[in-house]
Amino acid sequence: MQVLIHKIQSKKARIGVVGLGYVGLPLVIRFCEEGFTVTGFDVDVAKVAAINAGRSYIKHIAGGQLKKFVKRHTLKATADFKTLRSVDAIIICVPTPLNEMREPDLKYVEQTGDIIARHLRPGQLVSLESTTYPGTTDEILLPKFAGRQLKVGKDFFLVFSPEREDPGNKNFSTKTIPKVVGGITPACRKTGEALYSQIIDTVVSVSSTRAAELTKLLENIYRCVNIALVNELKMLADRMNIDIWEVINASSTKPFGFAPFYPGPGLGGHCIPIDPFYLSWKARAYDFTTKFIELAGEVNTSMPYYVVNKVIEALNAQGKSLKGSKVLVLGIAYKKDIDDHRESPSLKLIEILQGKGAAVLYNDPYVPNLKKSRRYAFPLSSVKLTERLLRRVDVVLIATDHSCYDYDWIARQAQLVIDTRNAVKNKKKFAGKVIGA
């Protein structure tokens, strides 16, 4: 343990990051910034080629950062996993989606674990960062590694340290967001602390990998439940003819006991729509039903249908049917000012609208083409946002409130606007053609 910790603290340890997406790539950059030599591993050869050429494929990460480290020979990317043996710390940042039955799909973690097991050598640290249910690290990864007659906490070290990336958030960065670390053994935990303390301002230790795994789920389930609450209140306020955004702003003036959450067309991103299902699935193994969490999931899952019903009602008021109408969806990314559309509610909105016979177009300056995802495969590309387009479509549906949009201009040109994000602040001045949803 001390030998590896000394290598880490002297920055002589070589770092390997498996999975070069929205979680892995920021980690790669942080280690490079602190003077470490880093190898990024990914099965996507296009990502590998881009990094080695100093090109970024993520909006909020500048290509200049990558190019600088590649030129210094402190960063390289590869699809050859045999070189895992040459690194001292291996950080796993692979996807953990749900399958079609909305159950945990850990095939990427398992496949990565099998690859690491084939190349694991004494003196290495392995850290899992992928969001998962309590027990994954010790039930799935540990047997793969210990099965090679290596003793955990002595010959190798295994920790779980959940990612806490928030793309597009200018107030927090990888460096300043505190990092939770839990180890299989105390020696594992101390080694993990030594690693992450080199790149993160604050490292928070917990007693086990299971505690660290549940920490991540609690963080996102907390958001999921509170968003469900405000989404339900939005639907009630709509029936009561009360502006929920005004209510939230007024409640936010209370200096204690209240944290504002905001309604929307549904949940998006890799974590919040998925994490509650991971815990609910695992809870069933303990004969426990997470009723509160599952209810929140039901409310949030219903929001795209609520939004589409608002579109239908608004069109009906104009003597139009949704079938055959042209609908322009503004914003495909799951949150404002980023290019990530994983699990975005906009995708579900498009699916429902198309299923009801609408002709759907979309505009998103950060998502030029819709890539095939686990559940959706739309052959759509972003259309140019013009005055002619806005006047030609029957309804504009604001699904993501990117800062670059001029919402007053959009509202002036459009025949009808359904606003799910309170992006058009003064709806009254548009003579009833801007409707909150």
Residue that terminates a domain, selected from 161, 180, 207: 207
Q: Is the pLDDT of residue 271 over 70?
A: no
Per-residue confidence at 373, pLDDT binned at 50, 70, 90?
A: low
pLDDT for the residue 374: 63
Q: Is the pLDDT of residue 273 over 80?
A: no
- Asked if residue 374 is part of any domain, the answer here is yes
Pairing assessment for the beta strands 179-183 and 156-160 based on DSSP bridges = antiparallel
The range of the structural domain enclosing residue 133 comes to 2-207
Residues 27 and 151 in one domain: yes
pLDDT for the residue 268: 73
Q: 31-45, 53-67, 149-163: which range is least confident on average?
A: 53-67
Confirm if 181 and 204 have CB atoms less than 8 A apart.
Answer: yes
Q: Is the pLDDT of residue 376 over 80?
A: no
- Asked if residue 20 is part of any domain, the answer here is yes
Per-residue confidence at 270, pLDDT binned at 50, 70, 90?
A: low
Contacts 24+ apart (CB under 8 A), 419-426: 420/263, 420/264, 420/265, 420/307, 421/264, 421/265, 421/336, 422/245, 422/262, 423/398, 424/398
Residues 116 and 41 in one domain: yes
- Asked if residue 212 is part of any domain, the answer here is no
Distance, in Å, from the CA atom of 303 to the CA atom of 346, rounded to the nearest integer, reads 11
With b for 16 or more beta-carbon neighbours within 10 A and e for fewer, the 117-150 pattern comes to bebbeeebbbbbbbbbbbebbbeebbebbbeeeb
Residues 195 and 227 in one domain: no
Per-residue confidence at 327, pLDDT binned at 50, 70, 90?
A: very high
Helices 275-283 + 209-239 axis angle, to 10 = 120
- Asked if residue 217 is part of any domain, the answer here is no
- Asked if residue 218 is part of any domain, the answer here is no
Quote the number of domains for the chain.
2
Distance, in Å, from the CA atom of 308 to the CA atom of 435, rounded to the nearest integer, reads 12
Residues 230 and 199 in one domain: no
Residues 70 and 203 in one domain: yes
Of residues 57 and 183, the one with the higher pLDDT is 183
Summarised one tens digit per residue, pLDDT across range 276-290 is 888 888 999 899 989
| CATH number assigned to the domain comprising residue 244 | 3.40.50.720
- Known catalytic residue at 271: yes
299-303: average pLDDT? 92
Q: Is the pLDDT of residue 15 over 90?
A: yes
Q: What are residue 371's phi and psi, to 5 degrees?
A: -85, 150
346-362: average pLDDT? 95
pLDDT for the residue 1: 82
Residues 296 and 392 in one domain: yes
Question: Which two structure tokens, joined as six digits, stand for 420?
Answer: 């799910």
Residues 138 and 232 in one domain: no
Cβ contacts of residue 76 below 8 Å, gap of 6+? Answer: 38, 39, 40, 51, 52, 70
Summarised one tens digit per residue, pLDDT across range 49-67 is 999 999 988 888 877 889 9
- Asked if residue 139 is part of any domain, the answer here is yes
- Asked if residue 61 is part of any domain, the answer here is yes
Confirm if 394 and 315 have CB atoms less than 8 A apart.
Answer: yes
411-433: average pLDDT? 88
Residues 114 and 161 in one domain: yes
- Asked if residue 216 is part of any domain, the answer here is no
Residues 199 and 301 in one domain: no
291-304: average pLDDT? 90
Q: Degrees (nearest 5) of the Cα angle 132, 215, 35?
A: 85
Of residues 167 and 195, the one with the higher pLDDT is 195
Q: Is the pLDDT of residue 168 over 90?
A: no
pLDDT for the residue 272: 67
For the whole model, what pTM was predicted? 0.88
Residues 110 and 253 in one domain: no
Residue that terminates a domain, selected from 154, 181, 207: 207
Residue that terminates a domain, selected from 175, 207, 239: 207
160-189: average pLDDT? 90
Q: Is the pLDDT of residue 269 over 90?
A: no
Residues 84 and 37 in one domain: yes
Summarised one tens digit per residue, pLDDT across range 222-253 is 999 999 999 999 999 999 999 999 999 999 99
Per-residue confidence at 169, pLDDT binned at 50, 70, 90?
A: confident
79-96: average pLDDT? 95
Q: Is the pLDDT of residue 275 over 70?
A: yes
Residues 119 and 192 in one domain: yes
pLDDT for the residue 149: 80
Confirm if 398 and 407 have CB atoms less than 8 A apart.
Answer: yes
Pick from 365, 358, 362: nearest CA to 346: 362
**Sign of the four-CA dihedral 385, 390, 392, 398:** positive
Distance, in Å, from the CA atom of 285 to the CA atom of 17, rounded to the nearest integer, reads 32
pLDDT for the residue 402: 94
Among 32, 188, 224, 271, which one carries the catalytic annotation?
271
- Find the DSSP H helices in 34-168: 45-52, 63-71, 107-119, 136, 142-146
Q: Is the pLDDT of residue 437 over 90?
A: no
Distance, in Å, from the CA atom of 128 to the CA atom of 161, rounded to the nearest integer, reads 6
